[in-house]
Chain A
Amino acid sequence: MSEWAFIALLFVISAMLPMVPIVGGRLLGPHKPNEQKNSTYECGVETVGDTWVQFKVQYYIFALVFLVFDIEVVFLYPWAVAYNQLPLFGVVAGIVFIVTLAEALLYAWQKGALEWL
């Protein structure tokens, strides 16, 4: 528990450290809003219509595939920590796990989920 005290302190300090200059900059720096400066940047022309991004399913699919692999890796970490004490059977169990997930990757690949069009 005391290990995490350092992390809590570093968290607070690293949150304060950027906030102080930003707040200081807003208080001390020039603050002259005018219509041109505050308008949204679009390479020099005026924006037309609402800000709206066309739905591309690729963004969603990449995040989804990443989620599955993230959870897989989370299971692999305790296995990796105990690796040196495991018998060969334990190592094979881990390999079966990895192979099943390689199969998931292969499925995603074949179905074209990993394209960016």
Chain B
Amino acid sequence: MTITPETVAFAIMSVLVLGGGLGVVSSRNLIHAALYLALTLFGVAGLFVLLEAPFLAAVQVLVYLGAIAVLVTITIMVTRRLMGITENVNRQWPVAALIAVLAAAILGFVVISQFAGVYPTQAVPPDTIERMGQSFASHQGFLLPFEVASVLLLAAMIGAIVVARD
């Protein structure tokens, strides 16, 4: 296997994602867990860049890091006392770890057996964003999902305000 800069970048991003994920579930302090979550989301953005989907990477940073991570952190900060609060460790963590390892092994086996040796044959066209925009507005494309998404966001807004007002 040749070591290219992309390989190094992939290794770094994978470490960020996996390390961040481990940090979220194993950290005693909730705020540290939120920060590890932000690290994981950032690693995912990096993976999107490596997959030649820069638009998704920017969206990931903008929406997940800039809005969702902020929301999660604000919620944690206003519902807990500051500093020195460690959460209780879940007593059943050995069982949970076993189940998680089994699930990961099964998924990994399925993915590797199906996709081993499959490499992308087409280059990514340079104007993907423009094509995406055009498909948002065409019947053969994603017009209906585009409009349904706006209704979904309206529903989300209404639901969130109703829940928060209680």
Which residues of A come within 8 Å of B, CB atoms? Answer: 1, 4-5, 8, 50-53, 55-57, 59-61, 63-68, 70-72, 74-75, 77-83, 85-87, 89-91, 93-94, 96-97, 100-101, 103-104, 107-108, 111, 113
B138 at the interface (CB under 8 A from A): yes
Whether the Cβ atoms of A60 and B63 lie closer than 8 Å is no
Q: List 7 A-B contacts (CB under 8 A).
A: A51-B82, A60-B71, A60-B164, A64-B160, A82-B134, A83-B133, A104-B153
CB distance from B59 to the nearest CB of A (A): 5
Stretch among B23-31, B72-80, B94-102 lining the A interface: B72-80
In the bound complex, do residue A79 and residue B136 qualify as a contact, i.e. CB atoms below 8 Å apart? yes
Q: Is B132's CB within 8 Å of the partner chain A? A: yes
Shortest CB-to-CB span from A112 to chain B, Å, is 8
Residue of B nearest to A82 (CB): B133
When distances are taken between beta carbons in the complex, the residues of chain A under 8 Å from B134 are: 82, 85-86, 90
Q: What total of chain B residues lie within 8 Å of the partner, measured CB to CB?
A: 48
Q: What residues of chain A lie closer than 8 Å to B62, measured between beta carbons?
A: 70, 74
Structural contact, A97 and B150, CB atoms closer than 8 A: yes
Measured CA separation A4–B22 after assembly (Å): 27
Residue of A nearest to B8 (CB): A8
Task: Please tell me if the beta carbons of B157 and A75 are within 8 angstroms of each other in the complex.
Answer: no
Whether B161 lies near A78 (C-beta < 8 A) is no
CA distance A81 to B129 in the complex (A): 7
Judged by DSSP, the binding face of A is: helix
Does B35 lie at the interface of the complex (its beta carbon under 8 Å from any beta carbon of A)?
Answer: no
Number of A-B pairs whose CB atoms are under 8 Å?
Answer: 141
Q: How far is the CA of A89 from the CA of B134 in the complex (A)?
A: 11
Complex CA gap A108/B55 in Å reads 29
Tell yes or no: B66 within 8 A of A by CB.
Answer: yes
Chain B residues with CB below 8 A from A57, complex form: 164-165
Query: Chain A residues with Cβ under 8 A from B6's Cβ?
Result: 1
Q: Is B158 in contact with A75, judged by CB distance below 8 angstroms?
A: no
Q: Of A89, A93, A104, which is within 8 A of B146 by CB? A: A93
A65 touches B129 (CB 8 A): no
- CB-CB < 8 A to A107: which residues of B? 154, 157-158, 161
A108 lies within 8 A of B150 (CB): no
Q: A70-B67, A93-B143, A104-B158 are in contact. Are A78 and B150 (CB under 8 A)?
A: no
Q: Is B107 an interface residue (CB 8 A)?
A: no
B147:A104 contact, CB within 8 angstroms:
no
Q: Return chain A residues, CB-CB under 8 Å to B70.
A: 63
